[in-house]
């Protein structure tokens, strides 16, 4: 951040120091954050804001490098398999094409979106926003690009793909000679660049450059207590994309400080509200949060059974046909001596989905019952579920690579089994369930007290 922008920011913060936590909705006064420091909610300990030195320049450099690496990663082979003088190589798009040809188009689309489309949107979105700013211009439709970037950061899974490729290499090494391609290394570098760009990206610094000063939305006198503890009780709503605090018109309630009336009114805004800065939908509480969470969770529970019982991979060879489940793949890795990978696959593909289902179910039940039990612990469980959700995709990427490479006709052929689609649906549904759950519901009973 430049000295001028920093001075403007500090002066503006002195005038409008009020912010709201996006997880517990607590109103609190903003403090000055030193470079490379973080501001955390004083109640639920959620990270409200991180400040980075030279944020936008560093992010732009990482994003430009990621764009180049993305092209290399998708233009060259990832890995090859040599059998009796024949070399079979595949790119990531080649794996997607093979799955589509075999009728596994839902799996093909999921892999294309999470490993190719979303990383591209993440890198290009950052360049679209930051390169014009570096040249002294305003990016076109910065609000729409910013919202797209937020979605891409949630669904891009390059780091999970790299781990899946390592597991696939171990399995392929027992079949034939493995030849690593240039895309394998460029995918690893792409993962590092995207992670570095996401870590260095300072959202507030971006809006300072675009608008001059960060608009906190509303101010309260420093010597006067807040009218209520939460933003919702004051008719304010925090944008989950850009962090702007805005006023939302609510349906009439007899007493907006009364918990029951506020809780009913917060689901009935007078008209749909949008953030005036980034255009995202505003909601004091996510509409039908628990209903949508339960719908996704129940569907995931139903599909979890066939995902673990049906074959996830069909192997045909001169010695006959073999159908492997997720658990049999773990056993194969263990008996072949790769016990660290066996433990990793077991955790990512069997333990994590089950624990996610149990954790989200616990959070939804406690919110339905308006439980007052340890809201800070439940908030930590929610953050953990969001953090580990994507790692269940590990087995899907292993199947994609094996299916694309082991295509030796009469010698050996690998095809994705029906459990692969069920398991992919479980991963997506549990992620949607976590996204649908509103963590502010955890604290609503505490607000009443």
The confidence score (pLDDT) of residue 432 equals: 94
**Higher model confidence: residue 266 or residue 367?**
367
- The two tokens of residue 123 are 């890198």
The pLDDT value given to residue 12: 42
| Residue 265: per-residue pLDDT | 46
- The confidence score (pLDDT) of residue 227 equals 65
Of residues 159, 290, 138, the one with CA closest to residue 206: 138
At 260 the pLDDT is: 44
Average pLDDT over residues 70-75: 94
Question: What are the C-alpha distances in Å from 295 to residues 134, 303, 366, 393?
Answer: 45, 13, 16, 21
Q: Pick the more confident residue, 449 or 168.
A: 168
Provide the pLDDT confidence category of residue 168 given band limits of 50, 70 and 90.
Answer: confident
* pLDDT at residue 262, rounded to an integer: 45
Domain ranges of the chain: 3-51+215-282, 55-210, 289-448
pLDDT band at 217; cut points 50, 70, 90: very low
Residues 318 and 414 sit within 8 Å (Cβ to Cβ)? no
pLDDT value of residue 410: 52
Mean pLDDT across 254-276? 52
Residue 152 scores a pLDDT above 70 = yes
Q: How confident is the model at residue 50 (pLDDT cuts 50, 70, 90)?
A: confident
Its sign, for the CA torsion 51, 52, 56, 61, is negative
* Region 250-264 average pLDDT: 44
Per-residue pLDDT, 62: 97
Fold entry, domain 289-448: Butyryl-CoA Dehydrogenase, subunit A; domain 3 (1.20.140)
CB 26 within 8 A of CB 358: no
pLDDT of residue 11: 42
For residues 125 and 414, is the Cβ–Cβ distance under 8 A?
no
Contacts of residue 215, defined as CB under 8 A and 6 or more positions apart, other chains included, come to 12, 16, 207, 244, 277
- Tell me what pLDDT residue 128 has: 96
Contacts of 260 (CB under 8 A, 6+ apart): none
pLDDT of residue 412: 66
Residue range 387-409: average pLDDT?
A: 83
pLDDT at 306: 93
Q: State residue 3's pLDDT score.
A: 44
Which of 46, 42, 23, 43 lies closest to 442 in space, CA to CA?
Answer: 23
Return d(Cα 59, Cα 117) in angstroms, integer: 20
pLDDT exceeds cutoff 60 at 130: yes
Reference 348, options 105, 102, 157, 154; nearest CA is 157
Determine the pLDDT at residue 321.
Answer: 65
pLDDT at residue 220 greater than cutoff 60: no
Answer for the pair 221, 195: CB distance below 8 angstroms, yes or no. Answer: no
Q: What is the pLDDT of residue 408?
A: 61
Q: How confident is the model at residue 115 (pLDDT cuts 50, 70, 90)?
A: very high
DSSP-based three-state secondary structure for 280 = coil
Helix (H, G, I), strand (E, B) or coil at 326: helix
Summarize pLDDT for 400-412 with one digit per residue, the tens. Answer: 888 888 766 555 6
User: Residue 224's pLDDT band (boundaries 50, 70, 90)?
Assistant: low
Q: What is the rounded average pLDDT of the residues 81-86?
A: 74
pLDDT score of 298 more than 50: yes
Q: Could you tell me which residues come within 8 angstroms of residue 134 by beta carbon, excluding any fewer than 6 positions away?
A: 56, 57, 60
CA distance 80 to 127: 33
* Alpha-carbon gap, residue 281 to 202, rounded angstroms: 21
* Whole-number pLDDT of residue 173: 80
Instruction: Write down the pLDDT at residue 297.
Output: 96
Residue 338 pLDDT > 70: yes
Query: Looking at residue 112, what is its pLDDT?
Result: 95
* Whether residue 240 has pLDDT greater than 70: yes
DSSP for 76-142? Answer: S-SEEEEETTEEEEE-HHHHHHHHHHTT-HHHHHHHHIIIIIHHHHHHHHHHHHHHHHHTT-PPTTH
Q: What is the pLDDT of residue 326?
A: 86
Residue 313: pLDDT band by 50, 70, 90 thresholds?
confident
- The rounded distance, in Å, linking the Cα atoms of 398 and 171 is 9
Name the nearest CA neighbour of 110 among 380, 396, 303, 324: 396
Three-class DSSP category at 399: helix
Read off the pTM: 0.85
Would you state the pLDDT for residue 55? Answer: 87
- pLDDT band for position 236 (cuts 50, 70, 90): confident
**Predicted pLDDT at 6:** 38
Distance CA 412, CA 84 (A): 13
Q: Report the mean per-residue pLDDT for the chain.
A: 82
pLDDT exceeds 90 at position 279: no
Residue 197: predicted pLDDT: 94
Per-residue pLDDT of 1-33, as tens digits, reads 444 443 443 344 344 468 888 888 888 887 778
Predicted confidence band of residue 212 (pLDDT cuts 50, 70, 90): low
**Percent above pLDDT 70 for the chain:** 83
Give the rounded distance of the alpha carbon of 354 from its chain centre. 19
């Amino acid at each position: 951040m430049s000295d001028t922008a920093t001075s403007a920011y500090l002066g503006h913060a002195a005038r409008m120091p009020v912010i709201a936590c996006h997880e517990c909705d607590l109103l609190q006064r903003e403090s000055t954050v030193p470079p490379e420091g973080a501001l955390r909610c004083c109640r639920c300990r959620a990270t409200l804001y991180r400040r980075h030195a030279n944020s936008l320049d560093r992010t732009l450099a990482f994003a430009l490098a990621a764009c180049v690496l993305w092209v290399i990663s998708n233009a060259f082979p990832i890995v090859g398999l040599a059998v009796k003088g024949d070399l079979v190589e595949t790119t990531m798009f080649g794996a997607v094409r093979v799955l589509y040809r075999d009728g596994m188009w839902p799996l093909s689309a999921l892999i294309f979106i999470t490993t190719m489309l979303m990383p591209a949107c993440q890198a290009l979105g950052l360049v679209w926003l930051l390169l014009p700013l570096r040249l002294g211009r305003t990016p076109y439709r910065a609000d729409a690009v910013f919202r797209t970037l937020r979605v891409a950061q949630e669904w891009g899974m390059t780091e999970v793909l790299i781990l899946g490729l390592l597991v696939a290499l171990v399995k392929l090494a027992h079949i034939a000679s493995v030849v690593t391609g240039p895309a394998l290394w460029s995918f690893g570098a792409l993962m590092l660049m995207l992670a570095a760009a996401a870590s260095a990206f300072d959202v507030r610094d971006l809006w300072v450059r675009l608008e001059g000063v960060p608009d906190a939305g509303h101010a309260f006198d420093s010597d006067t207590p807040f009218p209520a503890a939460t933003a919702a009780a004051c008719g304010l709503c925090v944008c989950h994309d850009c962090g702007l605090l805005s006023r939302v018109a609510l349906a009439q309630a007899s007493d907006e400080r009364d918990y029951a009336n506020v809780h009913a009114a917060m689901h009935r805004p007078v008209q749909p509200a949008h953030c005036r800065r980034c255009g995202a939908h505003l909601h004091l509480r996510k509409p039908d949060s628990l209903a949508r969470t339960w719908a996704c969770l129940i569907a995931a529970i139903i599909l979890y059974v066939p995902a673990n019982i049906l074959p996830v991979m069909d192997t045909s060879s001169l010695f006959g046909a073999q159908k492997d489940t997720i658990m049999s793949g773990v056993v194969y890795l263990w008996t072949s001596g790769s016990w660290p990978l066996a433990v990793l696959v077991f955790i990512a593909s069997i333990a994590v989905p089950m624990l996610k289902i149990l954790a989200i179910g616990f959070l939804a039940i406690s919110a339905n019952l308006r439980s007052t039990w340890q809201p800070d612990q439940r908030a930590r469980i929610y953050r953990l579920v969001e953090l580990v959700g994507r790692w269940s995709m590990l087995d899907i990427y292993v199947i994609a690579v094996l299916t694309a490479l082991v295509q030796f006709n009469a010698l050996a052929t690998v095809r994705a089994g029906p459990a692969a689609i069920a398991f992919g649906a479980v991963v997506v549904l549990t992620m949607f369930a976590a996204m649908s759950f509103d963590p502010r519901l955890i604290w609503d009973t505490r607000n009443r007290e």
